[in-house]
Amino acid sequence: MKRLLSILLVLLILLGSTPSVSANSAQSYWEGVDRTGAIVTSGESPIVVEKELLTFDLQEFPQPHYWEEAEFLAYSGKVTAAYTFHNPSELTVSAKLLFPFGAIPWYGMDSGTDTGKYDILIDGQPVEKKIRHTLSYYGQFDLEQDLSLLSDTFAEDPFYSPALPVTVYKFSISGVDTATYKSAVVAFDVPEGLGARRYYLDDCRGSHQQNNGDMRIATSVRNNGSSIALYVFGEPLKVYPEFKFYQDGGAKDSERISGTARFSGIEETTFQAFALNGWNAETGVSEEDWYNAIVADLNTNVRSKHPIIYQIANQNRLAENLMRWYEYEITLQPGQRIVNSVTAPIYPSIDLDYDPDIYGYTYLLSPAKTWKSFGELEIVVNTPYYITESSLDGYEKTDTGYTLTLDGLPEGELTFTLSEAEDPEPPKVNIFYGFLYGIAFFFSMIGYLFQSLFDGIANLFQF
């Protein structure tokens, strides 16, 4: 069943992936200094956007998959947002800006070096930029929520802290009739209530709420002599859990089998060491951003009423789920105008079912609403291809692509699709293919909206 689920999800990717989005620069902090030297940080920033020239340079489509990093880095698709900022106040205003531009796409290489190709300019001169990272599953973006995940220090969290104890208890499995029960599991029950601990059973294979309110979490019995690991975040255990064995992932009381889980060792560390276990400077991610992404991941994957972490991001692949941001600063004197240009790579979703293929692009306009006012928006799409669909109407065809000018920000975000043909043919209806797509879509949505339920069902059918 696990293999079938994997095949269905691969089909979903081929049918159309979540794009790697780019977005406008948003203010995260501002400070004004008046002529007397008084500092103002409260209220609304006086900086206004008089105009934004948004230019997409899309002269080629990406490959469905890259095998060599050099080929991936050679991909030229990019977007440039050129803002004309004006400071009409009598303050000297400095602002920290954040420009989110998405994760590495699923068809790309796990490398952050694509950000080195482009500069952030103020009046034509490059300025210092940092690359920041936040946890971002499924390509979803919420400005307020995602901005809150950015911190220059280790995040302050009600439960997790750098010095929080993390204890790993190991148990050796024996006495299980694995010849008869090939899908046997070992499990223990955790009562309701978030207290001084969080539990994580390594390689967790599902959870089941019991009639008394306890949550039963299970992992596979691979063979006799194998080891299982129980992570305890927070206060160490005073008594070891009562492990029980079951025929399969259903872990029903009526299907108990014989087996023993004997304590075999202990490892003690701190949460900071645990969180940074998969980090190194070559990831291009700061220690603070990595640590904070692990905290966000653990808080996302905890039961609402039980102190159980049902999934931990594979720390060696955490970078694949990180939203990338440019962080930089601007300063405007009283009455000053500047032109600030931000260029970032932009990666489309790929739908191979159309003839010819279609490529979908997403640019988030909503972050620009953080500015006091926003004037004209000019959109230029430089491309030899055809815009087949768009969230905005009124494009004018030009010799180099398309252009559109708007008075102010439109409602919603900017999305459009490109293709080599003006009217690509949609996929032909195939009942069996549609059935597979429907199942894949169903499980994908379950995975996004109800991750815990999906995890339990997927693992239940795996046994």
Residues 192-203 have a mean pLDDT of: 89
Lowest mean pLDDT segment, chosen from 64-68, 107-111, 356-360: 107-111
C-alpha–C-alpha distance, residues 113 and 87, integer Å: 34
Query: Which amino acid is residue 133, in one-letter code?
Result: H
List pLDDT tens digits, range 217-271.
999 998 999 999 999 999 999 999 999 999 999 999 999 999 999 999 999 999 9
Residues 168-187 have a mean pLDDT of: 96
Task: Indicate the pLDDT class of residue 319, thresholds 50, 70 and 90.
Answer: confident
Task: Indicate the pLDDT class of residue 305, thresholds 50, 70 and 90.
Answer: confident
Residues 133-161 have a mean pLDDT of: 85
The maximal CA–CA distance of the chain, rounded, in angstroms, is 83
> What pLDDT is stored for residue 329 in this prediction?
94
Q: Are 56 and 41 in contact (CB under 8 A)?
A: no
CB neighbourhood size of 105 (10 A): 23
C-alpha–C-alpha distance, residues 343 and 121, integer Å: 9
Please state, rounded to an integer, the average pLDDT across all residues of the chain. Answer: 84
- The closest of 28, 329, 300, 287 to 153, measured between CA atoms, is 287
Does pLDDT of 368 surpass 60? yes
Pairwise pLDDT comparison (183 vs 143), residue with the higher score: 183
Those residues whose C-beta lies under 8 Å from the C-beta of residue 28, and which sit 6 or more positions away, are 96, 97, 98, 147, 150
- The closest of 345, 349, 378 to 73, measured between CA atoms, is 345
Task: Indicate the pLDDT class of residue 448, thresholds 50, 70 and 90.
Answer: very low
Pairwise pLDDT comparison (294 vs 38), residue with the higher score: 294
Pairing of strands 337-345, 78-86: antiparallel
Using a pLDDT cut of 90, give the percent of the chain over it.
57
Residues 95-121 have a mean pLDDT of: 82
Does pLDDT of 441 surpass 70? no
- Return the C-alpha torsion angle 446, 449, 452, 458, nearest 10: 10
> What pLDDT is stored for residue 174 in this prediction?
97
> What pLDDT is stored for residue 451 in this prediction?
46
Pairwise pLDDT comparison (11 vs 92), residue with the higher score: 92
C-alpha–C-alpha distance, residues 287 and 293, integer Å: 10
> What pLDDT is stored for residue 384 in this prediction?
98
HSE toward the beta carbon, residue 421, CA cutoff 13 A: 9
Pairing of strands 215-220, 185-190: antiparallel
Lookup result for tokens 């991936």: 72
Pairwise pLDDT comparison (389 vs 111), residue with the higher score: 389
Residues 309-325 have a mean pLDDT of: 77
Does pLDDT of 461 surpass 80? no
Task: Indicate the pLDDT class of residue 332, thresholds 50, 70 and 90.
Answer: very high
Q: Are 184 and 256 in contact (CB under 8 A)?
A: no
List pLDDT tens digits, range 15-57.
333 445 676 777 777 888 876 667 776 678 899 999 999 999 9
- In the chain the first and final C-alpha atoms are separated, in Å, by 8
Does pLDDT of 395 surpass 60? yes
